[in-house]
Structure 1
Amino acid sequence: MRSLARREEQKPATRSMFSNFFSDIDRMFDDDMFLMPMHLSRLGNGNLPAANIRETDKEYSIEMAVPGMKRDDFNIEYDENMLTVSSEKEENINEEKENYRRREYNYSSFSRSFRLPEAVKADNIKAHYENGVLHIAVPKAEQANQRKKRINVD
């Protein structure tokens, strides 16, 4: 019962130019090549604050997460059914001490627009900033508050 056969010594495998090519292709697919556009879009929207929008019977409510801002940093405008919230903030820190000098510059800005229905009371839009959240209340006009009504045909 001799099932074992003697093998010849194997030489170390030499790599061909094709093995490098195929390993590079495999590595490209392993590195989430197809997800790259999503990652790039996230980088482009890094300064765009998140917003929650709610609708009630009386108003539209917009909440935007903008921590680290002050009330004076916001510019809110309403023009032709478009509500635009924008901000530009620039910080310069210059600190000089005996042993060191510190200079830091930071600039951040964003602009976000919301298309609103025509039936809003533009003169009564209110905004307040609290705990890093900008709250904007857009009241609906009277015609928007009316409930649906069934009309009988005579």
Structure 2
Amino acid sequence: MALVRWEPFREFEMEPFREFGSLQREMNRLFDSLSPRTGGNGGMAFVPAAELQETPEAIHLKLEVPGMEAKDLDVQVTSEAVAISGERKSETKTEEKGVTRSEFRYGSFRRVIPLPTRIQHENVQANYQNGVLTLTLPKAEEEKNKVVKVNIG
């Protein structure tokens, strides 16, 4: 028995299958244009990842915004939600063997995150370090001591 290497794209070169190769390239192009990007390619905005953790005293929110500086971020807090927006503008240049390569990344985002409980929006603490924005949102006093009576059927 001889081993034969299967090359699926080679089959597309045959006349009846040529249209499938073209269709596959068009579908790949379509999915590439719809996928979210973390740069600014094609004018698409990026959506930073967020992590929300609740403790008895506060809500802790972390947001990944690499490549940005604290001055590029705008954080607005109400007692029920956090709105974070920013704009990324970065450029990297490398030179190797007399060839300069330059890459630009632009993009803006706005994300509104509803909070599971009311907070003291006047006492929010923020820290930005290594591309991670961390917010500590202390809970409102009435939420900390809130007791709900449950009626049993």
| 2:34 partner amino acid | L
CA distance in 2, matches of 1:101, 1:28: 35
Percent identity, aligned pairs only, is 27
Indicate the residue corresponding to 1:4 in structure 2. none
Question: Unpaired segments of 5 or more residues in structure 2?
Answer: 1-13, 39-43
Indicate the residue corresponding to 2:48 in structure 1. 49
Relative to structure 1, the CA distance from residue 109 to residue 59 in structure 2 (aligned partners, 3 Å threshold; closer, same or farther) is same
| 1:52 partner amino acid | E
Q: TM-score, normalised by structure 1?
A: 0.59
Indicate the residue corresponding to 2:70 in structure 1. 71
Q: Is the 8 A contact 2:117 2:143 kept in 1?
A: no
Question: Unpaired segments of 5 or more residues in structure 1?
Answer: 1-18
- Per-residue deviation, residues 28-85 of structure 1 (Å, max 9, x unmatched): 9989x7xx77983445986111111100001111101111211111100124623101
Indicate the residue corresponding to 1:129 in structure 2. 128
CA distance in 1, matches of 2:129, 2:147: 36
Relative to structure 1, the CA distance from residue 121 to residue 82 in structure 2 (aligned partners, 3 Å threshold; closer, same or farther) is same
Relative to structure 1, the CA distance from residue 68 to residue 137 in structure 2 (aligned partners, 3 Å threshold; closer, same or farther) is same
Relative to structure 1, the CA distance from residue 28 to residue 80 in structure 2 (aligned partners, 3 Å threshold; closer, same or farther) is farther
Aligned pairs for 1:102-141 within 5 A:
106-117=105-116, 119-141=118-140
Q: Is the 8 A contact 2:82 2:113 kept in 1?
A: yes
CA distance in 1, matches of 2:82, 2:135: 10
The structure having more radius of gyration, on CA atoms, is: 1
Indicate the residue corresponding to 1:16 in structure 2. none
Q: TM-score, normalised by structure 2?
A: 0.60
Shift of 1:129: 0.4
Aligned pairs for 1:58-97 within 5 A:
58-79=57-78, 81-91=80-90
Indicate the residue corresponding to 1:8 in structure 2. none
Q: CA RMSD in A?
A: 4.0
CA distance in 1, matches of 2:127, 2:68: 12
Relative to structure 1, the CA distance from residue 122 to residue 84 in structure 2 (aligned partners, 3 Å threshold; closer, same or farther) is same
Shift of 1:148: 3.7
Shift of 1:116: 2.1
| 2:47 partner amino acid | L
Aligned pairs for 1:141-152 within 5 A:
141-146=140-145, 148=147
